[in-house]
Amino acid sequence: MACVNDSLGELPHGRPPQTEFDTGLDYPRLGSVTFRRGTLTPNQEQLFDEWWPRLGRILTHSDEDQTIDVDEWFGRSGHKTIVEIGSGTGTSTAAMAPLEKDTNVIAVELYKPGLAKLLGSVVRGGIENIRMVRGDGVEVLARMFPPESLDGVRIFFPDPWPKARHHKRRIIQSGTLNLIATRLKPGGVLHVATDHADYAEWINELVEVEPMLEYKGWPWENAPILTDRQVITKFEGKGLDKQHVISEYLWVKK
């Protein structure tokens, strides 16, 4: 599962892989991956060197089997597993995980400084049920998790790509919902939150598009996983400062 670059948390060079789906549905398509400026502090670099080999994985560009053995990675079996796509700096991830200690939480993020902040929270807080993957969320779901292996998927405040010509990059698409549905176990939950009004309208048009997912709305008192995000994330806080409305969505795999 690990690759040569895992100790540094660095992605391979070149254009990222893109799975070819044959469903006829819409998927977010990546261009060349570029990042905001951001470097790790010496302390963060030291944390990566020491902890990433055990707590982190990287989606490589090779065609080799990269399926994650969750039980082996977490050192336990029989526990629920949730994947959070686009965990950012991990604010909500680190806040929720201690409240669901019997759940394996896997945070997926491309931005290394965000993963570094989450890694710091995990190490300092002694949080034992979080692992991290550096890679594109759609590709990670497609290539690292087998069908019907997850109890939950979380997507909190994804990039809204507000310009019309960039809407095809939005992660919530008919194809992504289908992919998530295939990775969820029956009874598994998808939880999405956004503070972007146009993105909320976009999602509203898609809530019933995937036949394997039953839309439960918000809130859903009988959800089998934790749905209270506990804290205000950085992006949520910025949205609330601008008086944005937070829209949340829950689906269950039929």
CATH number assigned to the domain comprising residue 73: 3.40.50.150
pLDDT band of residue 1 (cuts 50, 70, 90) is very low
Domain count, the chain: 1
Would residue 159 show up in a list of annotated catalytic residues for this protein? yes
**Is residue 18 in some structural domain?**
no
Q: Which residue has the higher pLDDT, 197 or 8?
A: 197
**Is residue 239 in some structural domain?**
yes
pLDDT of residue 160: 94
pLDDT band of residue 12 (cuts 50, 70, 90) is confident
**Is residue 229 in some structural domain?**
yes
**Whether pLDDT at 3 is above 50:** no
- How far is the first Cα of the chain from the last one, in angstroms, to the nearest whole number? 31
The rounded mean pLDDT for the chain is: 89
**Is residue 22 in some structural domain?**
no
**Whether pLDDT at 129 is above 80:** yes
Please tell me whether the overall predicted TM-score, pTM, comes out greater than 0.85 for this model.
yes
Cα gap 184→145, rounded to integer Å: 10
pLDDT of residue 197: 93
**Whether pLDDT at 7 is above 70:** no
pLDDT band of residue 233 (cuts 50, 70, 90) is low
pLDDT of residue 6: 45
**Is residue 35 in some structural domain?**
no
**Is residue 166 in some structural domain?**
yes
**Is residue 240 in some structural domain?**
yes
Q: Could you list the residue range(s) of the whole structural domain that residue 57 is in?
A: 42-253
Q: Which residues are annotated as a binding site for substrate?
A: 163, 195, 233-236
pLDDT band of residue 39 (cuts 50, 70, 90) is confident
pLDDT of residue 64: 80
**Is residue 23 in some structural domain?**
no
DSSP character string of the chain: ---GGGGTTPPPSSSPP-----SS-------S----S----HHHHHHHHHHHHHHEEE--SS-S-----HHHHHT--S-EEEEEES-TT-HHHHHHGGGGTTEEEEEEES-HHHHHHHHHHHHHHT--SEEEEES-HHHHHHHHS-TT-EEEEEEES-----SGGGGGG-S-SHHHHHHHHHHEEEEEEEEEEE--HHHHHHHHTTTTS-TTEEEEES--TT-SS-----S--HHHHHHHHTTPPPEEEEEEE-
pLDDT of residue 2: 39
Q: Which residues are annotated as a binding site?
A: 84, 109, 136, 159, 163, 195, 233-236
pLDDT band of residue 57 (cuts 50, 70, 90) is very high
Q: Which residues are annotated as a binding site for S-adenosyl-L-methionine?
A: 84, 109, 136, 159
Among 22, 65, 102, 159, the one annotated catalytic: 159
